[in-house]
Amino acid sequence: MTADSLDVWTQIAEAFPPVLPRQPVTLCDCDECRDVQANLGNLRWNEVLPPALDKHFGSLPLLTDDAFQALLPAYLFRALDDLSEKNKILEWTLYTLCPLSEEDEAATRESDAKLRKRIPKFTDQQRSAVRAFLALASAASDLDGHHQAITRAISAVWL
């Protein structure tokens, strides 16, 4: 881990207390959500093991807002392991943290607003930690395809 990654790691750890998410942790009762509930539902972010994250690399959108806030640090830490396009947890975490860049401005603003509605209970310190993570990811050269979305997320969502 680089010194910059360690700084961001520390900022995340300080911003997010390890709390149990309220139940249920998923938005529906489909098979995938039941599996996420079974594997992550009774854990604090600092108790989630890498194999569980690897299995549920794309599951952040399935979480309730409370569970998203409670478990996001586990995903951020796993993403920090390898800031490259090969890291599928990083890729899917970025998709979740960054709004879609749409062809027309109205659709882009709607995407921004939808993501902002998901994070109203995040503290200033937590938003700052997410911005630091996004800025670090934006500096990674092999993530060029994400730079525009990351810049938009930092300036329009994670204020």
Please give the model's pTM, rounded to 2 decimal places. Answer: 0.94
In the predicted structure, residue 60 carries a pLDDT above the cut 80: yes
Residues 6+ apart with CB under 8 A from 22: 64, 66, 67
For residues 130 and 122, give the distance between their C-alpha atoms in angstroms, rounded to a whole number.
10
| pLDDT, tens digit (0-9, with 9 covering 90-100), for 139-156 | 998 888 899 899 999 999
Closest CA to 7 of 129, 147, 155: 129
pLDDT at 82: 92
Q: Which stretch of DSSP H or E encloses residue 129?
A: helix 124-138
For residues 18 and 34, give the distance between their C-alpha atoms in angstroms, rounded to a whole number.
22
- 151, 20 contact by CB (below 8 A): no
In the predicted structure, residue 50 carries a pLDDT above the cut 90: yes
